[in-house]
Amino acid sequence: MRELFQALSLLEGQLVSGYGITLNEAVVLCSVGDGSVLAGTIAGCTGMSPSHASKIISHVEKKGLLERKVAESDKRCMYFTLTPEGRRLLHAIDARGVEVPSSLEFFFTGD
């Protein structure tokens, strides 16, 4: 368990120093991708509780990486999309990547 926590901390440290976002924020950006999704979809894709997902979404919005729009068909629904800066950052992470600690490689390769 300790090794897993250390590996996750190392991965998050790379994201923070290289891209200015936390691991949870990166997961939210990835779950939105090029689409327009509901907060519940983000929570479902990430495995976060709805309240935790809402908190992380708010952080990503404040960084100017995500924007919300009211659904035309149902004003109670909010759709989230990446801003141009959010897309640029996600593409930069995809292009340059991060070094995945060996103890986490299984989660990224599925082997």
Q: What are phi and psi of 66, to 5 degrees?
A: -140, 145
pTM of the model: 0.87
Model pLDDT, residue 111: 54
* Mean pLDDT across 33-39: 92
Residue 77 tokens read as 């629904």
Q: For residue 39, what are the domain limits?
A: 2-104
**109 assigned to some structural domain:** no
Residue 99 is given by DSSP the state P
70 is a domain residue: yes
Q: Given this model, what pLDDT does residue 97 score? A: 82
What CATH number does residue 18 fall under? 1.10.10.10
pLDDT of residue 110: 58
73 lies in a domain? yes
Is residue 110 domain-resident? no
33 within some domain: yes
Q: Please, are residues 104 and 14 in contact by the beta-carbon 8 Å criterion?
A: no
Which residue, chain included where needed, has tokens 């090794």?
3
Q: Determine the longest span between alpha carbons in the chain, in angstroms.
A: 47
Reply yes or no on whether the pLDDT at 16 is more than 60.
yes
